[in-house]
Structure 1
Amino acid sequence: MSADSFHHGVEQEMKSRPGGVVYDFDDFLSVVGNSNSKKVEVVELKHEGIRDWTDGHSAVKLKKLPKLADLKVVQLRRGSRSMFVKISHEEEDFTELDFLQNKFQLKIPTTLRPQDKGIEEAKKRDILKKLGPLMPPNRRLFWSSLHVSNTDEE
């Protein structure tokens, strides 16, 4: 099934909803699951299924590198600590960029993420203030129970 076909099926299912409205994540899961003649298996991603990856980039090395928006081709090679890039499609050879800290070890973490990442408190308040009055009271639970993140986690 092509992506366009899939998205069209989801859009059709949304339009078939009363008022064409999706209020919360449970509504969205239902829409996707019922779309495309119910040929879709929806798997909800929860924090228990995400590994707790650590950030290993070097801030000093990143200052010298081109911006992501300027890169045209990016290649990551298994077993290598570098990223290989092309700034234009006409370039023949890749440029090797070393962006990781020297002490950072390439290994898959065994621990899982301990909690949901969440959103900022101000953003949650803003959503509840602006969207809360537009939805039925029984649909506000999802939004009011969103996990709030600490701003220093990033």
Structure 2
Amino acid sequence: MNSNQDRESITVKYLTKGHTHMSADGSHGNIEKSFKKIKNIYDFTDYKECLRASRKDIEVIQVVPVEKRIWEKKKKIKMELIMLADLVEVKFLKNKSIMLYKKSFKDRYHELDFLQKRYKPDQLPKLTTRGRGKRTAKKAEILKKLVPLMPSNRKTFWQDLTENESSVDLITGGQFDPC
């Protein structure tokens, strides 16, 4: 947010249960039907094919690993643990090192100072192109339980999956810990 652009703020609103109709709902319904038609989805290639088959006008673009920063947790002050699933809106202000957030759309903004005071935007962490990966134990579990059920031409995706012990499970451990 701290750039030379004219924007004064960036606001991100997250969908909540019972949201209103969106133009993408029809596409999502077609994708669900496509998944149900395919008996087994073994790997990412199968997944992309399901998306492609769902509608004539869908172009599937695979995002490839790109350079990203390796950010380290350095803040030592204990703060309230904020669960990402509880947030409905976040806002970032130009030239400010805080995040404003809401847990309800009717709520007022709460302020979270999550950057170190001595943070210098011109001194960024090192870059990596390494994928997120899975923890070794999780990959071993997949290889033991799921891969034997797959045709041999679909096993490579799982066997070549990047291992990363610091990878957090996005289903069971997907929380935002600012401290």
TM-score interval w.r.t. the shorter chain?
A: 0.7 to 0.9
Percent of aligned positions that are identical: 32
Q: Match of 2:119, SS? A: coil
Higher relative CO (CA 8 A, sep ≥ 6), structure 1 or 2?
2
> Which runs of 5 or more structure 2 residues have no equivalent in the other structure?
1-21, 169-179
The question of whether the paired residues in 2 share the 8 Å contact of 1:128 and 1:144 is answered with: yes
The question of whether the paired residues in 2 share the 8 Å contact of 1:73 and 1:86 is answered with: yes
Distance 1:2 1:108 in 2: 41
The code of the aligned residue for 2:34 comes to E
Are residue 25 (structure 1) and residue 41 (structure 2) matched? no
Match in the other structure for 2:35: 14
Task: Name the one with the larger strand percent.
Answer: 2
| Deviation at residue 56 of structure 1 after TM alignment | 6.0
Distance 1:35 1:143 in 2: 25
Q: Match of 2:134, SS? A: coil
> Which runs of 5 or more structure 1 residues have no equivalent in the other structure?
none
CA RMSD of aligned residues (A): 3.0
Are residue 41 (structure 1) and residue 89 (structure 2) matched? no
Match in the other structure for 1:84: 100
Match in the other structure for 2:161: 146
Q: Match of 2:112, SS? A: strand
Give me the TM-score of the superposition, normalised by structure 2: 0.66
Give me the TM-score of the superposition, normalised by structure 1: 0.75
Match of 1:59 among 62, 69, 75: 75
Distance 1:6 1:101 in 2: 42
Task: Name the one with the larger helix percent.
Answer: 1
How many residues align? The count is 146
Are residue 106 (structure 1) and residue 121 (structure 2) matched? yes
When Rg is computed on C-alpha atoms for both structures, the one with the higher figure is 1
Match of 2:142 among 120, 127, 135: 127
Q: Match of 2:133, SS? A: coil
